[in-house]
Amino acid sequence: MLNNITGKAALILTIIMITSSAFSRDLSYKIITIDDVSRYDEDRIAYQQVENIIDPEEHQTQDTSIAALLIIRDRQMYLFKDGYDDPKIVEENRVIREMENRLIMNTLWEKEIDGKPDYVRITDRRQEVQKKEIPFGVQENLDERYNEFYAKTRDSFIQRHVEIFKGLMVNRKDSELKVERRPIPKSINDDGPTRYFTSVVGKTKDGMIYYAQDADGDGVTETFTVHLPDGFHWGYKSGPNIIFILKNKQENIKEIIGNLTKYAFEGTPEEARIINRQFNQLDVEIPKLMDDIIQMDLETERILNEAKE
């Protein structure tokens, strides 16, 4: 009996592993650092937000809750970070806690994303002009001017790309839009409704790749990326170079990206309006269409008319 249970458990685990592998997409990333930016001679903006632990061991050395906004304008670089913890101080604390035998996994990174930057660095042709950061252990933020600028720029930037992605959904036949939807395996005792993993990918005419994912099947998009394969990066496998939002937990970001996979699968409001207009036109055209395709021969029509008299 025990062997049968063990065998079933192993089978379920195998199925889950296979399914997870099928759903997988390379979401490798590296937190943005100015020193590693490949070039600064073109204007651009990049946003990165990570709230996820893939490998607890690996993420002891990588911030598990951080957002970064990079702006390059006239060869000047502006880098904001929200939820920023100084990696050097984190490492010092890790060594101390390890020596004192009180190291708890994933508790080294203290600050979480709160929509207000804790760090800003400005350079001119890589020469540092200004650097401000909130010290470790201090629960404060930068000046309100930085906060307002950061939030306004971030939200507007994401929203514009979301509108482009929705445009690709409306123009599905030309944007190479692909939607993937698969049931998420359940445990034997789970009698609840089946949830579905949903992802969507589309491509603009200039080669920009858009991707959204609802991995847990709750109907809310939590991962959204935009990438232009033009060689711009900030290190090996640094991830999508325009937008990289991984496992979002922020309500304001959810309001912007939350419906992307739903729209991809069910259709956007814009598509619904187009279809409604088509039905309005059909209402007018259907009677004539019936006259054209449904015709009674003359003899049958004569007999029918005589029967009605």
3-state secondary structure 254-282: HHHHCCHHHHHHHCCHHHHHHHHHHHHHH
Domain that holds residue 276: 272-308
Q: What is the four-CA torsion angle of 165, 169, 172, 176, rounded to 10 degrees?
A: 40
Q: Computed over its alpha carbons, how large is the radius of gyration of the chain?
A: 27
Q: Is position 24 within any domain?
A: no
Q: Is position 6 within any domain?
A: no
Number of independent structural domains in the chain: 2
Q: Is position 225 within any domain?
A: yes
Pair (299, 232) in one structural domain: no
pLDDT tens for the chain, residues 1 to 309: 444 444 444 444 444 443 444 455 788 899 999 999 999 999 999 999 998 765 555 555 677 889 999 999 999 999 999 988 877 776 776 666 666 666 555 566 678 899 999 999 999 989 999 999 887 666 677 888 999 999 999 999 999 999 999 999 999 988 889 999 999 998 888 888 999 999 999 999 999 999 999 999 999 999 999 999 999 999 999 999 999 999 999 999 999 999 999 999 999 998 889 888 988 998 888 988 888 888 878 888 788 888 877
Pair (280, 262) in one structural domain: no
- pLDDT value at position 105? 55
- pLDDT value at position 192? 87
Pair (140, 169) in one structural domain: yes
- Alpha helical stretches, state H, the chain: 2-23, 87-99, 144-170, 172-175, 251-257, 260-266, 269-293, 298-308
- pLDDT value at position 106? 56
- pLDDT value at position 222? 97
Pair (189, 46) in one structural domain: yes
CB 224, CB 51: distance < 8 Å? no
Residues 6+ apart with CB under 8 A from 182: 19, 22, 23, 196, 197
Tokens 């001679």 belong to: 41
- pLDDT value at position 100? 64
Model-wide pTM > 0.85 = no
Question: CA 44, 45, 50: angle at the middle one, nearest 5?
Answer: 145
Residues 6+ apart with CB under 8 A from 157: 45, 47, 69, 243
Q: Is position 11 within any domain?
A: no
Pair (106, 50) in one structural domain: yes
- pLDDT value at position 108? 67
Pair (219, 301) in one structural domain: no
Strands 243-246 and 44-50: parallel
Pair (254, 289) in one structural domain: no
Pair (161, 278) in one structural domain: no
How far is the first Cα of the chain from the last one, in angstroms, to the nearest whole number?
82
